[in-house]
Amino acid sequence: MYADIIVDITHEKLDRIFQYSIPSELRGELSIGTEVIVPFGNGNREISGYVIAFSEKTDYPADKIKPVLKKAENSVAIESRLVALAAWMKEQYGGTMIQALKTVLPIKRKESSRVKRKVRLLLSENDAREKLKLYLDKNQKARARLLAGLIEQPEQDYELVTKKLNVTLAVIRSLKEQGVLSLESEKVLRGSVKYKKHGEETVCFNAEQEQAVSRFWEDYSRGIFGTYLVYGVTGSGKTEVYIEMIRRVVERGRQAIVLIPEIALTYQTVLRFYARFGDRVSILNSRMSAGERYDQMERVKRGEVDVMIGPRSALFTPFLNLGLIVVDEEHESTYKSEQVPRYHARETAIARAQMEEASVVLGSATPSLEAFYRCKTGDSVMFELTKRAAGQNLPVVYTVDMREELRRGNRSILSDRLKEKVRERLNKGQQVMLFLNRRGYAGFVSCRSCGYVVKCPHCDVSLSAHKGGRLVCHYCGYEEQAADTCPSCGSACIGGFKAGTQQIEDIVKREFKDASVLRMDMDTTKCKDSHEKILSAFSNGEADILIGTQMIVKGHDFPNVTLVGILAADMSLYSNDYRSGERTFELLVQAAGRAGRGEVPGEVVIQTYSPKHYSIRMAAEQNYEGFYEEEIRYRELMGYPPVSSLLAVLMTGADEEYLELAAGHLKNFAIRADKAKNLQIIGPASPYVNKVNDEYRRVLYLKCGEKKVLIEIKNLMEQYIEMNRGFQSIKIQFDFNPMGVF
Ligand code: ADP
Ligand code: ZN
Ligand code: ZN
């Protein structure tokens, strides 16, 4: 028997399998995922690696094969299923097997466990008082202090005792020798919450919730492990539905993972899970220490956890009998990893579930095009929740055409309608949120008079303004010179959109002198916790108006906010990538959803230069399906995901000329490798950010209707890069269906 091993070197060239023999003393000790120490290279340097398979024979001469030396100390074996998942991720997203293994293995090293020491009085109170008198008579002050403290409270924390009573370990030891007290240590599990399960306070499901749970359960009971999408507005009872599904799965002896974007992982949400599952719930978050994570994973392996809740990385929880993965807010871009392998947690959840015969439940009020498309193609089943459980109405939305304002002579960033409505709220003592949609903003050029936006004639995305009046497409590299007048209407009001939150704050303060204003953006949230502080100040009514970027859209509920103003809905609409329409729709709907969460119904004002654009129109109507129909047509026409697949190849190097040359070679290779001529190859173009840390960047985009073909080409490119010395000084990363433009 031989062990197939991936050695722990991040160098691309060594990303292949090395075979080692298994010495007799290690037989039966190794399994798939075990970390081992092996001799490597001519000098037999000792390095670590992971066993990823066993084989009966080898192509190497027997005398050339070296033995595995030993198991790595303090290492945590990756579950063999997670190794299979890592292999899938490497294939799907590129990168090395080691990088994939490191992604699925959340804990790198065994962390020494933490113990808590306790001091306990062993004497009866009478005996203790006698002893105390003795110490006092002998003037043994420290001993007396300690004993008096223990008489008051017979069991105390070692750390507290030494600090509070100011005694040393020597004093504690001497009392221990005299049989006065005992010093005990107990192992504590870090990151655990002690929480008792409440009684079964089940809500009475409405017909739609009932339908979702029973259809899910019907499949599950028959051994059909599918993918489902729960599509329902915030407050429609999605979380209740997940909890019931999980309850049933757990009752069958299986476990569940609940992915929630970190920003939405609030205390209230977590409490609802504790209430149902008690301390059989575990939580992961980015603030936890390595020790806390380690202890929670140990609990998982011992079978003490049924439900793991956390962001992206919680997907790799080593459950032995995983039955269900819930991906809440599945449209969130944070589900995509920005490190190699650049995996998407939604897709990876579906892959893991298929490998382990588990089901996947996705949930969102504004589903990703990917998730909705899966329902249309029959790969997922959709459950719709159309009613808010608490019965509030959706807000009334007004769209203001900013071109019209300009025509009437209002050059302010605030429309007359918005000003009037803000004043109304201030008089009533209600609160207002003003939202500047800067996400993905990339310096597009537009006409304030007619709304015309300069776009790439080939890619149908906005061009970005660069120095010297150059307008550039970041997919294909197309360039043109910025014009002085609008090519559509001849107006001179053409240019970049420059307003920032700071300027808006000044304008708002000037306009509403008596109002108190808070601002939340990158500048005001640099300090730790400042994000939370601003939101809670606003929530406590310490300000009338909150101005902010997309940051203010999520998280807290503000019942006193009855008006939301969206200042420039177009800013994300004309970002320079193919997801801009989807992102705009999602942000507008989520922002609108902030108005009228309380008793008083809400209103929303959307200011735009393109009131006819479907993302804006459909967001104003809160009509997801209408939006989807338009957007999917655009994706079909242009060959963008989810209809086609898009592979970005990001290349980085210090020498720009050489990089350009290498990028050209790689492109030519891709053209040659694509024998059946299935691909559309775009670029190489300079990314939006052309230079980072003195490294230049180039991006090549490959489009194809079949993902399988793209993966094959990616594999061939990886081989070509590995074999060709010319690529040594260049870093190359792959990104399937990127979330934005590079
Ligand atoms: P979502 O996850 O879609 O935002 P939640 O599950 O959080 O919705 O539900 C919103 C609120 O309504 C919660 O307080 C929840 O307990 C309550 N709720 C959900 N479903 C019902 C129901 N069928 N009957 C009564 N209350 C419900
Ligand atoms: Zn114009
Ligand atoms: Zn282009």
Tens of pLDDT, residue by residue over 427-486, are 999 999 999 877 656 678 888 888 888 888 888 888 888 777 888 888 888 899 988 899
Asked if the peptide bond before residue 39 counts as cis, ω within 30 degrees of 0, the response is: no
Asked if the peptide bond before residue 642 counts as cis, ω within 30 degrees of 0, the response is: yes
Least confident window among 23-32, 128-137, 356-365 = 23-32
Cβ atoms of 713 and 91 within 8 Å: the answer is no
Q: Which two tokens stand for residue 342?
A: 């650049």
How far, in Å, CA of 1 to CA of 553, rounded? 57
Q: How confident is the model at residue 576 (pLDDT cuts 50, 70, 90)?
A: confident
Q: How confident is the model at residue 533 (pLDDT cuts 50, 70, 90)?
A: confident
**For residue 210, what pLDDT is reported?**
95
As a whole number, mean pLDDT of residues 154-167 equals 82
**For residue 594, what pLDDT is reported?**
83
How remote is the CA of residue 459 from the centroid of ligand 3, in Å?
Answer: 4
As a whole number, mean pLDDT of residues 1-30 equals 79
Q: How confident is the model at residue 50 (pLDDT cuts 50, 70, 90)?
A: confident
With a cut of 80, say whether residue 680 has pLDDT above it: yes
Q: Which two tokens stand for residue 299?
A: 């609990």
**For residue 439, what pLDDT is reported?**
61
Q: How many other β-carbons are positioned within 10 Å of the β-carbon of residue 105?
A: 22
User: How many Cα atoms within 13 Å fall on the side-chain side of residue 629?
Assistant: 5
**For residue 325, what pLDDT is reported?**
98
Domain spans, the chain: 2-104, 114-188, 207-385, 396-442+498-633, 645-736
Least confident window among 18-27, 286-295, 704-713 = 286-295
Using a 6 Å cutoff on CB, does residue 244 contact ligand 1? no
Using a 6 Å cutoff on CB, does residue 334 contact ligand 1? no
How far, in Å, CA of 492 to CA of 473, rounded? 23
Using a 6 Å cutoff on CB, does residue 203 contact ligand 1? yes
Cβ atoms of 433 and 593 within 8 Å: the answer is no
Using a 6 Å cutoff on CB, does residue 364 contact ligand 1? no
How remote is the CA of residue 634 from the centroid of ligand 3, in Å?
Answer: 15
Which ligand places an atom closest to the C-alpha of 577?
Answer: 3
**For residue 270, what pLDDT is reported?**
84
Q: Which atom of ligand 1 is nearest to the CA of 240?
A: 6
How remote is the CA of residue 228 from the centroid of ligand 1, in Å?
Answer: 19
Amino acid in the structure at residue 173 = R
Residue 522, exposed/middle/buried by CB under 10 A (0-12, 13-18, 19+)? exposed
Using a 6 Å cutoff on CB, does residue 673 contact ligand 1? no
| Nearest residue to 679 via CA among 648, 710, 723, 714 | 710
How remote is the CA of residue 237 from the centroid of ligand 1, in Å?
Answer: 4
**For residue 645, what pLDDT is reported?**
94
| Nearest residue to 518 via CA among 529, 509, 527 | 509
φ, ψ dihedrals at 463, nearest 5°:
-85, 150
Using a 6 Å cutoff on CB, does residue 205 contact ligand 1? yes
As a whole number, mean pLDDT of residues 695-717 equals 92
Which ligand places an atom closest to the C-alpha of 471?
Answer: 3
Which residue has its alpha carbon closest to ligand 1 atom 15? 237
How remote is the CA of residue 110 from the centroid of ligand 1, in Å?
Answer: 40
**For residue 734, what pLDDT is reported?**
95
Which ligand places an atom closest to the C-alpha of 201?
Answer: 1
19 or 576, which is more confident? 19
End-to-end CA distance of the chain: 46
How remote is the CA of residue 406 from the centroid of ligand 2, in Å?
Answer: 12
Q: Which atom of ligand 1 is nearest to the CA of 205?
A: 23
**For residue 203, what pLDDT is reported?**
77
Averaged confidence pLDDT in the chain:
87
How far, in Å, CA of 638 to CA of 200, rounded? 51
With a cut of 60, say whether residue 391 has pLDDT above it: yes
As a whole number, mean pLDDT of residues 698-717 equals 93
Share of the chain above pLDDT 90, in %: 47
The hierarchical CATH code for the domain 2-104 is: 3.40.1440.60
How remote is the CA of residue 388 from the centroid of ligand 1, in Å?
Answer: 8
387 or 662, which is more confident? 662
Chain CA centroid to CA 690, Å: 25
Cβ atoms of 69 and 46 within 8 Å: the answer is yes
How remote is the CA of residue 573 from the centroid of ligand 3, in Å?
Answer: 17
Least confident window among 164-173, 362-371, 699-708 = 164-173
How far, in Å, CA of 51 to CA of 72, rounded? 11
Using a 6 Å cutoff on CB, does residue 235 contact ligand 1? yes
With a cut of 60, say whether residue 562 has pLDDT above it: yes
Which ligand places an atom closest to the C-alpha of 235?
Answer: 1
What's the pLDDT tens digit per position in 77-131?
A: 667 788 889 989 999 999 888 888 888 875 555 555 667 788 899 999 999 999 9
The hierarchical CATH code for the domain 645-736 is: 3.30.70.600
Residue with tokens 């722990």: 8
Using a 6 Å cutoff on CB, does residue 240 contact ligand 1? yes
As a whole number, mean pLDDT of residues 291-320 equals 90
Looking at CATH, the fold of the domain delimited by 396-442+498-633 is given as: Rossmann fold (3.40.50)
With a cut of 90, say whether residue 17 has pLDDT above it: no
With a cut of 90, say whether residue 282 has pLDDT above it: yes
**For residue 177, what pLDDT is reported?**
92
Least confident window among 67-71, 151-155, 375-379 = 151-155
**For residue 600, what pLDDT is reported?**
78
Q: Which atom of ligand 1 is nearest to the CA of 232?
A: 3
Q: Which two tokens stand for residue 154?
A: 């017979």
What's the pLDDT tens digit per position in 611-663?
A: 999 999 999 998 999 999 999 999 999 899 999 999 999 999 999 999 999 99
How remote is the CA of residue 220 from the centroid of ligand 2, in Å?
Answer: 57
499 or 118, which is more confident? 118
Please choose from 201, 203, 240 the residue to mutate so as to test ligand 1's pocket, defined by most ligand atoms within 8 A of CB: 240
Which ligand places an atom closest to the C-alpha of 445?
Answer: 2
Residue length, the chain?
742
How far, in Å, CA of 345 to CA of 329, rounded? 12
Cβ atoms of 543 and 512 within 8 Å: the answer is no
**For residue 586, what pLDDT is reported?**
92
SS (H, E, C) 308-328: EEECHHHHHCCCCCEEEEEEE
What single DSSP character describes residue 482? P
Tell me if residue 516 falls in helix, strand or coil: coil
pTM here is 0.82
How remote is the CA of residue 580 from the centroid of ligand 3, in Å?
Answer: 15
Fold match flag (207-385 vs 645-736): no
Using a 6 Å cutoff on CB, does residue 207 contact ligand 1? no
83 or 372, which is more confident? 372
Using a 6 Å cutoff on CB, does residue 232 contact ligand 1? yes
**For residue 555, what pLDDT is reported?**
59
What's the pLDDT tens digit per position in 214-247?
A: 999 999 999 999 999 999 987 889 999 999 999 9
How remote is the CA of residue 398 from the centroid of ligand 2, in Å?
Answer: 24
Least confident window among 192-201, 517-526, 652-661 = 192-201
**CB burial readout 251-260, b (16+ within 10 A) else e:** eeebbbbbbb
With a cut of 90, say whether residue 499 has pLDDT above it: no
Homologous superfamily, domain 207-385: P-loop containing nucleotide triphosphate hydrolases (3.40.50.300)
With a cut of 60, say whether residue 370 has pLDDT above it: yes
How far, in Å, CA of 231 to CA of 681, rounded? 35
How far, in Å, CA of 584 to CA of 336, rounded? 18
**For residue 85, what pLDDT is reported?**
93
What are the helix (H) ranges across 59-166?
Answer: 80-93, 97-104, 125-137, 141-152, 158-164
Which ligand places an atom closest to the C-alpha of 477?
Answer: 3
With a cut of 60, say whether residue 11 has pLDDT above it: no
